[in-house]
């Protein structure tokens, strides 16, 4: 008998997080529908493009006409996946979460998908070498950490950034290990593999890049696009999901999902890509690049997180305000005008750092970060300041 593709990567408690994070009754769901106008839902795409959050749509021509019509027809379901390859998400992932939250603000339902199964395969997108293999226990532990990040950010958004919580769409967090743990290899290849053509799979940018590298590409990585495509199909069938968000490096996987669903069901789905967040020198932010700014306070304290955004180069702050905050674009322009009039006050940097820290760490985390900043500024002795910083860092590491 064929072996299961993936055993469960979740404990009983995490499998129970295959849940509807924010329970919404039929009454509140209808309230979302009628309190959110069609113009709000369709205007969302223009807003996201103007903010720089959306980069590409797939299929391009259909998305220009059919996707706005779909959004106009009523609340839709949008998903984004996060493979638990570390025990926390980072600032590079935050933009995808913010993209989901913009859709939720407009009354659409969102799904955050933890890749408990796919993390053990390894996504080759944007990678120059194969990922380190993760054991089930590590993936399970990582998934718990990411779940905590997501829950905290979803809660903070609802508490501090939603103008009308009654119109928010539903939030669901799922783990794909729940539908792969009992699936058989032969069954999967028969059901999914027959819809894929080698020529198309080989043409993907992520595959071509790896095939040209010295290390090449493993079959496990090559097959990753089948699994992500099936995830999209599964969410489409069970949750009516027709829109996937992902980084620009995920476009090939998004295309695979679109093609698979269309061949299997005759229906069209859509992909929206989000630009990759880079450092001031153009490096992608993330754990692989070694410059990750983590969303977990255990890995990057609220103070360090706040300081990262406070110290951004002047030429980056306006773009980051558009990407990482929920400030209306008109408000962003006002903040930038204040910055240009009095650059020494760093008004834009402070507003950016405060908004993002509050989203990720809540009001308490922001106040903690500001207290530490004031402690540094209250000291006029540079040596004392360095000693104070070292002491605070030591205490953070200790506790």
Could you tell me the CA-to-CA distances from 180 to 4, 89, 115, 260, 325 in Å, in that order?
Answer: 8, 23, 10, 18, 36
Answer yes or no: do 175 and 230 share one domain.
yes
pLDDT computed for residue 374 by the predictor = 84
- pLDDT tier for residue 11 given thresholds of 50, 70 and 90: very low
Which pTM value belongs to this model? 0.84
Q: What is the CATH number of the domain that holds 374?
A: 1.10.240.10
Q: What is the pairing mode between strands 77-82 and 109-114?
A: parallel
Question: What's the mean pLDDT when you consider all of the chain?
Answer: 85
Query: Are residues 15 and 175 in contact, defined by beta-carbon separation less than 8 angstroms?
Result: yes
pLDDT over 90 at 4, yes or no: no
334-348 per-position pLDDT tens digit: 999 999 999 999 999
Is 200 inside a domain boundary?
yes
Measured distance CA(40)–CA(36) in Å, rounded: 6
How many domains is the chain built from?
Answer: 2
Answer yes or no: do 90 and 218 share one domain.
yes
Among candidate residues 90, 129, 123, 107, the one with its CA nearest the CA of residue 40:
107
Q: What is the CATH number of the domain that holds 161?
A: 3.40.50.620
Answer yes or no: do 101 and 175 share one domain.
yes
Is 294 inside a domain boundary?
no
Is 150 inside a domain boundary?
yes
Answer yes or no: do 356 and 268 share one domain.
no
pLDDT over 70 at 325, yes or no: yes
pLDDT over 50 at 283, yes or no: yes
Answer yes or no: do 257 and 312 share one domain.
no
pLDDT computed for residue 14 by the predictor = 40
- pLDDT tier for residue 36 given thresholds of 50, 70 and 90: low
pLDDT computed for residue 373 by the predictor = 85
Q: What is the pairing mode between strands 56-58 and 19-20?
A: unpaired
pLDDT computed for residue 21 by the predictor = 39
Is 206 inside a domain boundary?
yes
The verdict on whether omega for the bond into residue 138 sits within 30 degrees of 0, i.e. cis, is no
Answer yes or no: do 194 and 316 share one domain.
no
pLDDT computed for residue 125 by the predictor = 76
Is 362 inside a domain boundary?
yes
Q: What domain range is 332 assigned to? A: 302-398
Answer yes or no: do 247 and 357 share one domain.
no
Among candidate residues 287, 331, 373, 375, the one with its CA nearest the CA of residue 86:
287
Lowest mean pLDDT among 119-133, 173-187, 254-268: 119-133
Strand order in the sheet with 171-175: 19-20, 171-175, 109-114, 77-82, 241-247, 270-274, 56-58
Answer yes or no: do 122 and 41 share one domain.
yes
Q: Which residues pair with 113 in a beta bridge?
A: 81, 174
pLDDT computed for residue 375 by the predictor = 81
Answer yes or no: do 242 and 363 share one domain.
no
Lowest mean pLDDT among 95-104, 128-137, 141-150, 372-381: 372-381
82-105 per-position pLDDT tens digit: 999 999 999 999 999 999 999 999
pLDDT computed for residue 282 by the predictor = 60
What's the average model confidence in pLDDT over 139-149?
98
What's the average model confidence in pLDDT over 317-338?
98
Answer yes or no: do 206 and 337 share one domain.
no
Is 220 inside a domain boundary?
yes
pLDDT computed for residue 5 by the predictor = 44
What's the average model confidence in pLDDT over 159-167?
92
Query: Are residues 95 and 161 in contact, defined by beta-carbon separation less than 8 angstroms?
Result: no
Tokens of 328: 């209306």
pLDDT computed for residue 1 by the predictor = 43
Answer yes or no: do 20 and 161 share one domain.
yes
pLDDT computed for residue 209 by the predictor = 83
Is 6 inside a domain boundary?
no
pLDDT over 90 at 271, yes or no: yes
Q: Which residues lie below 8 Å from residue 302, measured CB to CB, with a gap of 6+? A: 357, 360, 361, 365, 366, 368, 369
Query: Are residues 268 and 62 in contact, defined by beta-carbon separation less than 8 angstroms?
Result: yes
Is 288 inside a domain boundary?
no
362-393 per-position pLDDT tens digit: 999 999 999 988 887 665 454 554 555 555 55
Answer yes or no: do 21 and 74 share one domain.
yes
Among candidate residues 243, 296, 239, the one with its CA nearest the CA of residue 58:
243
What's the average model confidence in pLDDT over 122-146?
86
Task: Give just the sign of the alpha carbon dihedral 159, 276, 71, 149.
Answer: negative
- pLDDT tier for residue 62 given thresholds of 50, 70 and 90: confident
């Amino acid at each position: 008998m064929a072996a299961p593709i993936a055993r469960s990567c979740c404990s009983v408690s995490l499998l129970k997080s295959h849940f509807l994070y924010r329970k919404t009754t039929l009454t509140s769901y209808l309230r979302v529908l009628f309190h959110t106008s069609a113009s709000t839902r369709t205007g969302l795409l223009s807003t996201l493009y103007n903010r720089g959050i959306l980069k590409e749509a797939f299929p391009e021509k259909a998305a220009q006409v059919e996707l706005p019509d779909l959004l106009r027809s009523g609340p839709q379901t949008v998903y984004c996946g996060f493979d638990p390859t570390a025990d926390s998400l980072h600032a590079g992932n935050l933009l995808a979460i913010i993209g989901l939250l913009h859709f939720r603000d407009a009354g659409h339902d969102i799904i955050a998908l933890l890749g408990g199964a796919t993390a053990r395969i390894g996504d080759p997108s944007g990678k120059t070498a194969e990922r380190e293999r993760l054991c089930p226990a590590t993936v399970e532990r990582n998934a718990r950490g990411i779940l905590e990040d997501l829950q905290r950010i979803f809660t903070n958004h609802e508490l501090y950034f939603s103008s009308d919580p009654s119109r928010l769409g539903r939030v669901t967090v799922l783990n794909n290990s729940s539908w792969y743990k009992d699936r058989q290899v032969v069954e999967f290849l028969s059901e999914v593999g027959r819809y894929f053509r080698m020529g198309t799979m080989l043409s993907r940018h992520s595959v071509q890049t790896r095939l040209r590298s010295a290390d090449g590409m493993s079959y496990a990585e090559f097959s990753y696009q089948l699994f992500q495509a099936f995830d999209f199909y599964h969410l489409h069938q069970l949750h009516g999901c027709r829109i996937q968000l992902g980084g620009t490096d995920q476009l090939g996987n998004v295309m695979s999902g679109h093609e698979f669903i269309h061949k299997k069901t005759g229906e069209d789905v859509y992909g929206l890509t989000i630009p990759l967040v880079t450092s001031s020198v153009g490096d992608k932010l993330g754990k692989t690049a070694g410059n990750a700014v983590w969303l977990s306070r255990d890995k990057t304290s609220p103070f360090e997180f706040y300081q990262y955004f406070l110290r951004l180069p002047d030429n980056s702050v306006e773009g980051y305000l558009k990407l990482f905050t929920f400030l209306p674009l008109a408000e962003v322009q006002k903040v930038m005008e204040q910055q240009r009039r009095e650059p020494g006050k760093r008004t834009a940097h402070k507003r950016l750092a405060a908004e993002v820290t509050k989203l990720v760490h809540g009001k308490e985390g922001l106040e903690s970060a500001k207290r530490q900043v004031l402690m540094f500024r209250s000291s006029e002795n540079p040596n004392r300041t360095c000693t104070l910083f070292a002491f605070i860092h030591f205490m953070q590491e200790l506790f």
